[in-house]
Amino acid sequence: MAQLNLILIWLFLLSLCLYSCPTSAQLSRHHYAKTCPNVENIVREAVKKKFHQTFVTVPATIRLFFHDCFVQGCDASVLVASTKNNKAEKDHPDNVSLAGDGFDTVIKAKEAVDAVPLCRNKVSCADILALATRDVIELAGGPFYEVELGRFDGLRSKDSDVNGRLPHPEFNLNQLNSLFAANGLTQTEMIALSGAHTVGFSHCNKFTNRVYNFKSKSRVDPTLNEKYATQLKSMCPRNVDPRIAIDMDPSTPRSFDNVYFKNLQQGKGLFSSDQVLFTDSRSKATVNAFASSSKIFHANFAAAMTKLGRVGIKNAQNGNIRTDCSVI
């Protein structure tokens, strides 16, 4: 217990440091103070409307932001549509499962911003996606955090850029750490960001190898909770329709809380890459700390999201402000 308390204190101090660390010189919380002073309220209202239409807005928008930032940085390149001469990021096999509601959230918010004459074509799609992501997290009960603004939209979107840039469901801790480190993120930040799976969903084919084809006598991954494994089999029978998706958090799937980490303690991580955070001794203490304190998890998550939002940002020299988020 004393060790857990020390870890909690350390994580809280770490989150405060990260959240108040100097921003990139280009980014500022007041970037649009003169050009579009009401941008945050405009985006928030558009996101709220979309949220009330479907809860899928939440995981879809969060995932879109992650997939954008991990490939060529937070530059809205994932939003670009393919053309006859260019296959864009969104059509890479790792991105084809991105839910349409995430794209639609950004489109609706962009339309709302551009409907204000003062703001038209002044706010980047990359910034709109960053704001929308913060807003869906808060709407689902997660932390509110200030979003740094001033990103430009990227001038490139190629499916080949996605290769090896995104985490896979079977990754071990070393693979997760090296992928996040490539984006300047620590193991603690990686674990905090993994907590977004508390509102996620997954298609059956991403994890059924754990209940049908695992390399063990029973063919079931021994790190899986037995009752949970049985439940997964009933929800995802063999040869199930590939469009069937299930919640990643079987307990509170519509609440952005720390129950994801409590599930890991019980062997209820849907992906191997989730469960390994608890089974690997190097990351277990952080999982336990986040499971024991929603406040500590939220603080670390907000700090990690702020840091993620600084990855690979573009400026006026290597980016622009798109009039249509899907067209460079």
Catalytic positions, written as ranges: 67
114 CB-near residues (< 8 Å, 6+ apart): 120, 121, 323
Task: Give the integer Cα–Cα distance in Å for 191 and 69.
Answer: 17
Would you call 45 exposed, middle or buried from its count of C-beta atoms within 10 A (0-12, 13-18, 19+)? middle
Q: Is the dihedral of CA 196, 197, 199, 201 positive or negative?
A: positive
Give me 95's structure tokens.
């991105």
Which three-class secondary structure state does DSSP give residue 313? Answer: coil
Contact assessment for residue 158 and residue 272, using Cβ atoms and an 8 Å cutoff: no
User: Residues comprising the binding site for substrate?
Assistant: 167
Contact assessment for residue 325 and residue 106, using Cβ atoms and an 8 Å cutoff: yes
Give me 27's structure tokens.
């980014």
CA distances from 100 to 126, 159, 233 (A): 17, 18, 27
Contact assessment for residue 281 and residue 269, using Cβ atoms and an 8 Å cutoff: no
Element (H, E) at 230: helix 226-235
Task: Give the integer Cα–Cα distance in Å for 26 and 43.
Answer: 21
User: Residues comprising the binding site for Ca(2+)?
Assistant: 68, 71, 73, 75, 77, 89, 198, 249, 252, 257
Determine the residue type at 106.
Answer: V
CA-nearest of 137, 189, 140, 169 to 311 is 189
User: Residues comprising the binding site for heme b?
Assistant: 197
User: Residues comprising the binding site?
Assistant: 68, 71, 73, 75, 77, 89, 167, 197-198, 249, 252, 257
CA distances from 46 to 67, 109, 229 (A): 22, 5, 39
